[in-house]
Amino acid sequence: MAERAAKSKKFITKVIFLAAVVRPRYDPHKKQIFDGKIGIWPFVEEVAAVRSSKNRPKDTLELASQSVNADVYQDMVMKEVVPEIQVKMPRGVVVKLQLDNASPHRCVTTELIAHHGVDSIEVANQPPNSPVFNVLDLEFYKSIQSLQPQKVARSIGELFAAVEEAFYELPVTILGKTVITLQKVMELSMGCNGGTQCPT
């Protein structure tokens, strides 16, 4: 019998990404369709290589997956997401920043954003976790995941480039349909007093 060896899944590099999207819409000031894609950012950090390899010497700085806690998440939202929202969304309009109810995400509040001098963004937590509210995960992000493996990535930097390219390649129609689906799910939830056990 032939010997077979397979690499354990615990050695597969995993990177967490934060993506910000809005409903695609026509921008009357620029006279064009805004695709709704604010941006996508990886949770990575530069670390020195612990040992040498054939690819690089010891102590070379390389990207590594970052453990995400409340401080890391808050830093990412305040330094990356909020400025990008201010650039891409029209001025004078209050933007609702909707976050899910994961523990690290609850550290970002309207008061925190206002404390940093931004009064045009308000935080709204997503309703309690339910499969019906995971529309963005089930439709939009799964579509990105299906595009990303078509590109070969040998490092975290190449992986991020492939994911970012897949994010921007995704047709605007998919995001539009996804947001409409989420809107209809929210309407059904309001019809049963905000519950998650609504007929779908």
Task: Quote the domain boundaries for residue 90.
Answer: 69-126
- In a domain? residue 37: no
Question: ∠ at Cα 155 (149, 156), nearest 5°?
Answer: 85
Q: What is the pTM of this model?
A: 0.79
- In a domain? residue 169: no
Q: For 24-39, how does the pLDDT look when each residue is reduced to its tens digit (9 = 90+)?
A: 888 787 788 888 899 9
- In a domain? residue 110: yes
- In a domain? residue 50: no
- For residue 63 the two structure tokens come to 């990207």
3-class SS at 79? Answer: helix
Query: What's the pLDDT at 131?
Result: 62
If residue 188 lies in a helix (H) or strand (E), which one and from where to where? helix 172-191
Query: What's the pLDDT at 71?
Result: 92
Query: What's the pLDDT at 163?
Result: 87
- Tell me the residue type at 45: E
DSSP 77: I
Query: What's the pLDDT at 111?
Result: 92
- In a domain? residue 196: no
- In a domain? residue 10: no
Q: How far apart are CA 160 and CA 113, in angstroms?
A: 27
Query: What's the pLDDT at 127?
Result: 65
- In a domain? residue 105: yes
Query: What's the pLDDT at 135?
Result: 67
Split into its structural domains, the chain has a count of: 1
- In a domain? residue 97: yes
Query: What's the pLDDT at 50?
Result: 77
Q: How far apart are CA 88 and CA 19, in angstroms?
A: 14
Query: What's the pLDDT at 42?
Result: 92
* pLDDT averages per 10-residue partition of the chain, 200 residues: 63 81 84 89 85 79 84 92 89 83 80 90 75 68 76 82 88 86 79 66
